[in-house]
Structure 1
Amino acid sequence: MPFVGGALVVEELDGKFWKLAESVVYQGETQEFTVPAGFRTDFASVPRALVWLIPRYGAYTRAAILHDYLLHSDEVSTADADGIFRRALREFGVTKPRRWMMWAAVRVANRLAGATLGDIGRFLLVAVPSVVFLAVPVVVVTVALCIFWLVELLFWAVARVSRRTAAPPPKPQLKTA
């Protein structure tokens, strides 16, 4: 394994963010990257409508933490951070379709920064079929989340009239910040 050391040790900060209790070391082909203890991460930043396909944590958790760190440090370019992320996903045995979808997602999130013509071609080769594959389930999940929020709002309104609650339900969280 390219990651050196034992188990991943994190501490929960709140419902979304975690802090590394121990450093994480990734041994690349020519470079070694150390994510220091105390680094704050949200693991994989996955829009809520897609967590059924790619949860925020899993076999790729260390790769996601490394990617977050590389984006926040000046050790490598954004394009290189995205490439290292894809390589780490492969090294952890993440399946090729999921690995390439995750890579395409981070490339879009980073606005294809530093992309070469080959990167754009690979991106389109992955992104277009992924969008076609994911369109229907994403719409269904998004509509279901909105309907659930409306039902919560209705129950809140009834409770509010009967003076049993003061705060409205939170708005639906369809993406991560």
Structure 2
Amino acid sequence: MELAPTTPHPAAFYDGGLPGGRPRPDLRAKVMLERVERSSGGLARESFRMLRRIAYNDEEYGEILVPADLDTFDTDFASVPGLLTWLVPKTGAHLPAALIHDGLVGGRDYVATRYPPDADPIDRVAADLVFRRAMRDSYIPLIRRWLVWSAVTLGTIRHGSESWSRARHLRYQVAALGTLLCVAGLGIIATLDLFDVVAWLPWMGADRGFVTELAGGLAGAIVVPLLLGLTWGRFAIAGAMTGVALAVLLHVTALVIVASLVFTLALSGTA
């Protein structure tokens, strides 16, 4: 598993050309997007069309071209759940990697040239791993790319993978939802404990100084999600990182959610 520092390979990205043409490994990848606006539920929905393919030479699956069809492919960079986009933005230095990922999971709009059409082994879980390797090759720092991968793993757990049984999918969903609810609930209690409204958490204690309780709360915000992450099975690292990020930044996340709801309601009222 790619936990130790690894060497980026920026040349893994190159110009994918146009459908019917040949990729150009000798040319750098060109991200050429056209903004498209569609109406959805009475609100304008922004998405983007690619005007030229991107090619990525993955170390496991070989050459991947996105999209398969320039005329039908569009993306709103929705791989990252909205809850975490303030922490893990949808665009940035990882944009080429994100476009590859969107092609892999968004209707399977890609060409894996090593395999016959529709016969490659890239399911949604594998697509997330390709995304993480592609971020490495985009010089995304280790911690940040694992945070982004953890965020898109939440999306995978929500939507499922074609290789999962219904029981396995449900188990992952219960583990993820349980972790998020538990971390959020403990975070609220810890806040009340910090201001001596309650004294329910043993790692914060009662009648301790503010700094001591704050340190205890921070320790709990790290240790508890690490333990809960174990319930995610093969996605334990994603569970731990998501839980720690949510626990440590719970109040900021809550403010972002409230602000988003207010903004959405305001837009609905003016529509």
Where on the TM-score scale, by shorter chain, does this alignment land: which range?
0.7 to 0.9
TM-score by length of 1: 0.73
Specify whether residues 84 and 140 from structure 1 end up closer, same or farther in structure 2 by C-alpha distance, changes over 3 A only.
same
Q: What CA distance in whole angstroms lies between the structure 2 residues aligned with 1:89 and 1:78?
A: 16
Specify whether residues 42 and 145 from structure 1 end up closer, same or farther in structure 2 by C-alpha distance, changes over 3 A only.
closer
Whether the 8 Å CA contact 1:8–1:22 is kept in 2: the answer is yes
CA displacement, residues 89-118 of structure 1 (integer Å, 9 cap, x when unaligned): 111122222211211121121117469x86
Counterpart of 1:12?
35
Q: Which amino acid aligns with 1:70?
A: L
Counterpart of 2:253?
138
Q: What CA distance in whole angstroms lies between the structure 2 residues aligned with 1:149 and 1:24?
A: 34
Counterpart of 1:26?
56
Whether the 8 Å CA contact 1:25–1:32 is kept in 2: the answer is yes
CA displacement, residues 123-144 of structure 1 (integer Å, 9 cap, x when unaligned): 2332221221232111012223
Higher Cα radius of gyration = 2
Q: Where do 5+ consecutive residues of structure 1 fail to align?
A: 154-166, 171-177
Q: Segments of 4+ in structure 1 off by > 3 A? A: 44-52, 112-115, 145-150
Note if 1:168 corresponds to 2:264: no
Whether the 8 Å CA contact 2:36–2:47 is kept in 1: the answer is yes
Q: What CA distance in whole angstroms lies between the structure 2 residues aligned with 1:34 and 1:87?
A: 15
Note if 1:95 corresponds to 2:141: yes
TM-score by length of 2: 0.50
Q: What CA distance in whole angstroms lies between the structure 2 residues aligned with 1:118 and 1:46?
A: 21
For residue 59 of structure 1, report the CA deviation from its aligned partner: 0.7
Counterpart of 1:162?
none
Q: Secondary structure at the match of 1:105?
A: helix
Note if 1:3 corresponds to 2:13: yes
Q: What CA distance in whole angstroms lies between the structure 1 residues aligned with 2:130 and 2:84?
A: 23
Counterpart of 1:163?
none
Q: Where do 5+ consecutive residues of structure 2 fail to align?
A: 1-9, 16-28, 38-44, 109-117, 165-171, 173-231
For residue 120 of structure 1, report the CA deviation from its aligned partner: 2.3
Q: Which amino acid aligns with 1:28?
A: D
Q: What CA distance in whole angstroms lies between the structure 2 residues aligned with 1:149 and 1:18?
A: 21
Counterpart of 1:58?
92
User: For this pair of structures, how many residues does the alignment match?
Assistant: 155
Q: What is the root-mean-square deviation in Å for CA atoms of aligned residues?
A: 2.7
Specify whether residues 121 and 133 from structure 1 end up closer, same or farther in structure 2 by C-alpha distance, changes over 3 A only.
same
Specify whether residues 136 and 81 from structure 1 end up closer, same or farther in structure 2 by C-alpha distance, changes over 3 A only.
same
For residue 68 of structure 1, report the CA deviation from its aligned partner: 1.2
Relative contact order, higher structure (CA 8 A, sep 6+): 1
Counterpart of 2:66?
35
